[in-house]
Amino acid sequence: MGTMESGRPPPKLPGIASWPVRAPSLLRGQLLALGCVAVAVVARIVTGPMLGADSPFMVFVPAILAASLLGGYLAGATAILTSIPIGLGFFAAVHPGRPLASFAWLGGSAALVGVLLAGMGGFMGHTLRALARSENRFRTLATATNRVILRFDDTLEVLRPNPEWRRLTGHGARTPWREAFHPEEAGRIPQRPEAPVQVEARLRHAPHGEARWVRMSLVPVREGGRTVEWLGAVEDIHDRKSGDELNQMLAGELAHRAKNGIAVVQAIISQSARQAGTAAELERIVQARIGAMASAQDVIAAGGNNAALLGELVTSTLAPFGLERFRIVEDRPMVVGRNLALTLGLILHELATNATKYGALSTSDGRVELRTARPNGKPPLASIAWRETGGPAVSASNNVGFGGRLLQTGLRSFGGAAELRLPPDGAQCDLKFPAEAQ
């Protein structure tokens, strides 16, 4: 489904959205008024026998109203000043003997009606243009935001036709909209709420089945104290939610590493004691390995120019565990980004720690072979192959700790993957991740 995009504007529907947001210029308004009057004159000539001679201004009523509605107050005034003499001319042609007073009364009455029509039409035109500007601002805002705007009926059960919802979920108007949400989160949306609602839930795309985290906000539209419809907005928060989950996992690692560090130091002392012949030699070996562990953390955290050499990252991370226990085969030098280097360092440290506790490094004869391979495939991904030999028999566990969760999710956000296998003769792990070969 991917991230929501709002680059395409909402479809422009007839009505207010198509009304011009600004009044025409003075010249165009006057031409528009004259055009309306000209149409009225033609209509008067054509319909004269039907309208009768005593209704000279009837056809000019819609002309004045249209001129003021489309062109503004000045256009309406122009239509009045133009139509009155023409209307009086039609009347005089039929009643040549009428006194001037009757013409004056007729013209004054027509002017009064015309002013009322022009005022009403001008006000209506101003209101329509204001509504069109408001609609235009709303559509611009809806286009600029990454949210999908939705409309529902007053019961919040029927989703009004919305092409963006179909694009986002694959569901049409006939499918109940709540079915687009993950079953575990669908119940968070109340059936008949009375107040505004905001929920975070996973939204599924029907054809692909992919679920992404979204924030859905619903507010009622009330008229006269009664809810007439609901408006909603759906915002994609999947990246933020995934980042929060990773941050929580890394925060838990701080506590985990404090406890784990003690186990690593104990293993370093135990392995060093088997190698050292004297107390002084034991002190030297232990200090060197603990110092290597601290320098490895510095490499992971600093990353040098937001990047790190993969070979240096591997050796610095594994040095505290005794590089003589590892056989590292590097295909060719590669560079990884800073955030990826931190994640890889955590994964390698976790693999080495588990090997020290339970695997090949827990015995004096155990060894670990680690091979790097240049990027290949589509998309091109580099790889690290971890192989343990010579340790105790390995058995799978149903408990998934930090290391297991890190392997499942750590490289996924970078477009990579990790696969852990536990055959009896030693743990095997394949890591794939983006890298740049030098």
Q: What's the rounded Cα separation, in Å, for the pair 3 and 7?
A: 12
pLDDT band for position 326 (50/70/90)?
very high
Strand partners for 161 = none
> Taking 80 as the threshold, does the pLDDT of residue 225 lie above it?
yes
Q: What's the rounded Cα separation, in Å, for the pair 177 and 181?
A: 8
> Taking 60 as the threshold, does the pLDDT of residue 7 lie above it?
no
Q: Residues 65-83: what's their mean pLDDT?
A: 89
Helix, strand, or coil here: 416? coil
Of 20-24, 179-183, 247-251, the least confident = 247-251
What DSSP string runs through 109-136? HHHHHHHHHHHHHHHHHHHHHHHHHHHH
Alpha carbon 124 to its chain's center:
39
- Per-residue pLDDT reduced to its tens digit, 392-438: 988 776 665 656 777 888 888 888 999 999 998 999 999 999 998 87
Residue 116 has φ and ψ, to the nearest 5°, of -60, -45
- Per-residue pLDDT reduced to its tens digit, 129-175: 888 888 777 777 666 665 787 888 888 888 876 777 777 777 776 77
Question: What pLDDT score does 381 carry?
Answer: 94
Alpha carbon 79 to its chain's center:
52
Q: What's the rounded Cα separation, in Å, for the pair 60 and 106?
A: 14
- Per-residue pLDDT reduced to its tens digit, 246-268: 777 766 666 665 665 676 567 66
Alpha helices in 72-218 (DSSP H): 73-94, 100-144, 163-169, 183-186
Q: Residues 72-81: what's their mean pLDDT?
A: 89
- Running DSSP on this structure, what letter comes out for residue 379? T
Report residue 350 as tokens.
């976790």
Nearest to 351 by CA among 377, 333, 369, 337: 369
